[in-house]
Structure 1
Amino acid sequence: MEKLIEQFSLGLFFWQLVLFVVLVLLLKKFAWKPILDAVEKREEGIKGALESAEKAKLDMQNLQADNQKLLKEARAEREEMLKEARDIKNKMIEDAKGEAQAQANKMIAQAQSAIESEKKAAIAELKTQVANLSIDIAEKVIREELSNKDKQEKLVASMLGEAKLN
């Protein structure tokens, strides 16, 4: 350090100082200003990007809320459609059951009617056969009874005895 003080020259110091000041002025004009402008532009760009990101974040939140709302509405609509489909299905089943029951009742009534008419026809047929058999038997019995003169007189007498006069 002593050596520096001994070799100190005022002229050299002055020119170094002048060159330093000129260098600082030149740097200020040609280097610092463009560097500071670039830094400022970059800062504004970052600030704009942050604002855009914040805006995008808010838009995204709004979109998510809208999506949730739409999803909720879609689910409600789907549930409503499923409920309507179930109601229609149940109504169709009930209608089919009612129609089947009505058809079954109609078929049962027709069957009962057919059975009743068949029964009446069978009874009429049976009565006709019984009447024919009775006539045939009576005819044979009467022939047998009337073929003998003594038996005829006994029959007439017994019938007269059974007959009551009013």
Structure 2
Amino acid sequence: MSLITPEFGLLFWQTLIFLILFLLLAKFAWKPILGSLKEREDSIESALRMADQAKIEMQQLKAGNEKLLADARLERDRMMQEATVAANQHRETEKARATSEANYIVQQAREAIQTEKNAALAEVKNTAAQLSLDIAERILRRELADPTAQTQLVDSYLKEVKLN
């Protein structure tokens, strides 16, 4: 039974050793342990503050990035609009230039056609005049082959001519 119920001497020495150990721990170990716990608590609190601050900075960066992205999109849209306007102006300018050139070419073609037409008409007139002269010459040769016909022709011309 001695194992179940301790004796007074054993309790006394155990209590004395416990108190000595408690005092030693209080003097030498308690403060460093509490100090390290306090230091750890402070570092955790500091880490939490830094994490909150980093979270706030990340939110600010994210907002700044979104603003930059929105500005870039606006700039892109503005540049696209300017490019579209410039392309339309260029297209209209080229269209007007092409129309002007086409009108010039058509005018030149009309003038060339008119020149060719006038040349063809002059050639037809010359050919008709030459044919008329050839026909008249042949008729006159036939008519003037006879001396009496010649005399009659000269008399008729003289009657038609008026003298001043």
Q: TM-score range by the shorter chain?
A: 0.7 to 0.9
Return the alpha-carbon distance in structure 2 between the equivalents of residues 114 and 19 of structure 1. 134
Which residue of structure 2 lines up, in the alignment, with residue 84 of structure 1? 82
RMSD value over aligned CA atoms? 2.7
Please state how far the C-alpha of 1:86 moved relative to its aligned partner.
2.1
Residue 96 of structure 2 is matched in structure 1 by 98
- Work out the CA distance in 2 between the residues paired with 1:16 and 1:156: 183
Structure 2 distance, partners of 1:147, 1:4, is: 188
Counterpart selection for 1:33 from 31, 34, 37: 31
Q: CA deviation at 1:124?
A: 1.2
* 1:83 alignment partner, SS class: helix
Task: Report the alpha carbon displacement of residue 59 of structure 1 after superposing the two structures with TM.
Answer: 0.3
In the alignment, structure 1 residue 60 sits paired with structure 2 residue 35: no
Aligned mates of 1:19, 1:149 — CA distance in 2: 186
TM-score between both structures, scaled by the size of structure 2: 0.81
140-149 vs 109-118, which deviates more? 140-149
Unaligned 5+ residue runs, structure 1? none
Letter in 1 for 2:138: K
Cα distance in 1 for residues equivalent to 2:27 and 2:110: 120
1:60-115 deviation digits (Å, cap 9, x = unpaired): 01101111111111111112212222222222222112111111110110110011
Percentage identity across aligned positions?
46
Instruction: Give the paired residue count.
Output: 157
* Structure 2 alignment gaps of length 5 or more: none
1:8 match: 8
- TM-score, with normalisation over the residues of structure 1? 0.81
Residue in 2 aligned with 1:117?
115
Q: How far is the alpha carbon of 1:14 from its aligned partner?
A: 5.3
Q: Which amino acid aligns with 1:39?
A: L
**What is the distance in 2 between the residues matched to 1:153 and 1:8?**
196
Partner residue in 2 for 1:42: 40
